[in-house]
Amino acid sequence: MADGSNWVEIVLLAMLAAFIGLRLVSVLGKRTGEEPVPRDDFRPGSPELIARPSRNPESAPRVVAKLPEGTDAALAPRLADLAEQDPAFDPQRFVTNARAAYQMVLEAFWSGNLGSMEGLVSEEIQENFATAVEQRDGKRLSNKIAGIDSATITGVDLVGQMAEITVRFVARVTTPESDTPAETADLWTFSRHITSRDPAWLLIATDVEA
């Protein structure tokens, strides 16, 4: 009898478990309208979705570079090409930095403190400046920049991953011989490997405009 009683209890417990399971399904299986929206990280508008530029050159939007003041409009396509390949490039900021570099390099050359121009000029240019300083017996020049009247991009070349930009500087310089500033025009060419992590443009060529 004890075995029969145990068997009956097992059957009753199984029926009770089945009943509870059906109740849970009937309650949990219903939508109340308050369920959380399933996560979809790839849906449009998702914060995790990062828009990437098209790899198809024909469908990619062309970057239009804003020309700095005085820049020939004919250079716009080349500046745009450079901005496309180097998203960090900004013509306005480049000219501003070129102005600063122009003054820093000249002041370093005049004072003979060539170490302060490291990172601004190429090794060849630094060697040329060092030779010029030696030829004047290391004497310090008391020249001063009274003002930089203009800094204008006059040339843009992009060959492979190397970019070169030529800037025409018009400045007024005073010398010990004269307190009256003399106007000078220089053509400086800066270069940079556009895939380099180093954002610096190096001075690679200088010329005095006749």
DSSP the chain: -HHHHHHHHHHHHHHHHHHHHHHHHHHHTS--S-PPPPP-TTSTT-TT------S-TTTSPPP-PPPPTT--GGGHHHHHHHHHH-TT--HHHHHHHHHHHHHHHHHHHHHT-GGGGBTTB-HHHHHHHHHHHHHTTTPPP--EEEEEEEEEEEEEEEETTEEEEEEEEEEEEEETTEEEEEEEEEEEEEEEETT-S--PPEEEEEEE--
Could you tell me which residues come within 8 angstroms of residue 132 by beta carbon, excluding any fewer than 6 positions away? Answer: 109
Long-range contacts of 182-187 (CB under 8 A, 24+ apart): 183/149, 184/208, 185/209, 186/102, 187/154
144's tokens: 């001063």
Separation of alpha carbons 109 and 203, rounded Å: 13
Domains of the chain: 73-208 (3.10.450.240)
Q: What is the pLDDT of residue 19?
A: 47
Q: What is the pLDDT of residue 9?
A: 58
Give Cα 12 to chain centroid, integer Å.
75
Q: Residue 152 forms beta bridges with which residues?
A: 168
Low-confidence ranges of the chain (pLDDT < 50): 11, 19-55, 61
Q: What is the pLDDT of residue 209?
A: 87
DSSP 63-93: P-PPPPTT--GGGHHHHHHHHHH-TT--HHH
Separation of alpha carbons 181 and 175, rounded Å: 8
71 burial class (0-12, 13-18, 19+ CB within 10 angstroms)? buried
